Amino acid sequence: MTKTTELIDALVASATPVRRLRPPLVRAMLWLAFAGLVLALVTVEHGLRADLMLRLHQPTFAISTAAALATGVLSAIAAFVISLPDRSRWWLVLPMPTLAAWISTIGYGCLTDWVSVGPEGVRFGEELRCFAIFVLTSVPLTLALAVMLRYAAMLRAGAVAMTGSLAIAAITATALSLFHDHDATAIILVWNLGTAALITGIAGLFGRRIFGWIATRMLWSNAHF
């Protein structure tokens, strides 16, 4: 076993200057700006849904989209703040009110619009397009967040991974509601909640491992965001 004094010698020998992290709020804004860029690129590629303006006048849709977007922003801020060891865990509560609003509006919309789904059902092509938006939005956001928060592997891996995933899920859901012109609310409900549950579940199971994997490769380098 290495003696503690030897370990200190080794650590001191490898103590190169490090760049301090920017304040968590600034870093959250950087990530959100990246998310905005991704959404803009998806808009260029897919175009907004045709009836977006019409739908935005419907209170349920407007509240649901706004709540999803707010959940994304607030949970991104919470993830960046709690990734620092000396910040309070109470920051986890920050996205909860908007999350509750988001989930309740989706549920309400589902109940009221259930009958209007229509007999034609869901077309396969529509689903594939929906899935493409989901992948195009969530994958780059996940990668960026995992790299930016890699040091959390040694601290609060689980909590940071869950909050970060909630941010990704909420922004992906916002993207889906902007681009996916399918009125089958049941499908949107499944997509929204399914996305959130899937990403959050994966994060809960593998968050520590994923962060650890990235951290072991990048933590010792000097390039910190």
Partner 1 sequence: MFARPSRRRSSLTLVASSVGAARVGGGERNGNRVRDWSGLMARAQEGDRHAYRALLEDMTPYLRALAARCLKAPGDIEDAVQDVLLTIHAVRHTYDPSRPFGPWLVAIANRRIIDRLRRQIRARSREIELSAEHETFLPDAANVHFEDTSADSATLHAAIAALPPDQRQAVSLLKLKEMSLKEAALASGRSVSALKVATHRAIKSLRKRLRQSSEEP
Q: Is 179 in the site for partner 1 (CB under 8 A)?
A: no
Rule CB under 8 A: is residue 26 a binding residue for partner 1?
no
CB of 202 to partner 1, least distance (A): 22
221 touching partner 1, by CB under 8 A:
no
Contact call for residue 50 and partner 1 (CB under 8 A):
no
What backbone torsions phi and psi does residue 98 show, to the nearest 5 degrees?
-70, -35
CA-wise closest residue to 24 among 71, 70, 81, 93: 81
Nearer of residues 140 and 158 to partner 1, judged by Cβ: 158
**Does the footprint of partner 1 cover residue 223 (CB under 8 A)?**
no
Residues 141-160 that bind partner 1 (CB under 8 A): 151, 154-156
Which lies closer to partner 1 via its Cβ, residue 86 or residue 120?
86
- Round to whole Å and give the CA distance between 225 and 222: 10
| One residue of 53, 59, 86, 124 binding partner 1 per CB under 8 A | 86
Stretch that binds partner 1, among 60-68, 79-87, 97-105, 198-206 (CB under 8 A): 79-87
Is the C-alpha dihedral spanning 180, 183, 187, 192 positive or negative?
positive
Residue 146 to residue 167: CA distance in whole angstroms = 12
d(CA 89, CA 169) in angstroms, rounded, equals 21
**Pick from 203, 205, 173: nearest CA to 189:** 173
Candidates 14, 50, 120, 124; binder of partner 1 (CB under 8 A) is 14
Nearest to 210 by CA among 149, 126, 129, 125: 149
27 binds partner 1 per the rule CB under 8 A: no
The token pair that represents 140 in the structure block: 């780059």
Task: Please check whether residue 188 is in contact with residue 176, taking contact to mean a CB–CB distance below 8 angstroms.
Answer: yes
Size of the site for partner 1 (CB under 8 A): 30
Does 214 help bind partner 1 (rule: CB under 8 A)?
A: no
In the complex, the smallest distance separating the C-beta of residue 7 from partner 1, rounded to whole angstroms, is 5
Token representation of residue 159: 């909590």
Binding to partner 1 by residue 116, rule CB under 8 A? no
Cα distance between residue 133 and residue 180, in whole Å: 8
Q: Is 53 in the site for partner 1 (CB under 8 A)?
A: no
Which residues here bind partner 1, judged by CB under 8 A?
Answer: 1-2, 4, 7-8, 11-21, 23, 83-86, 88, 151, 154-156, 215, 219-220, 224
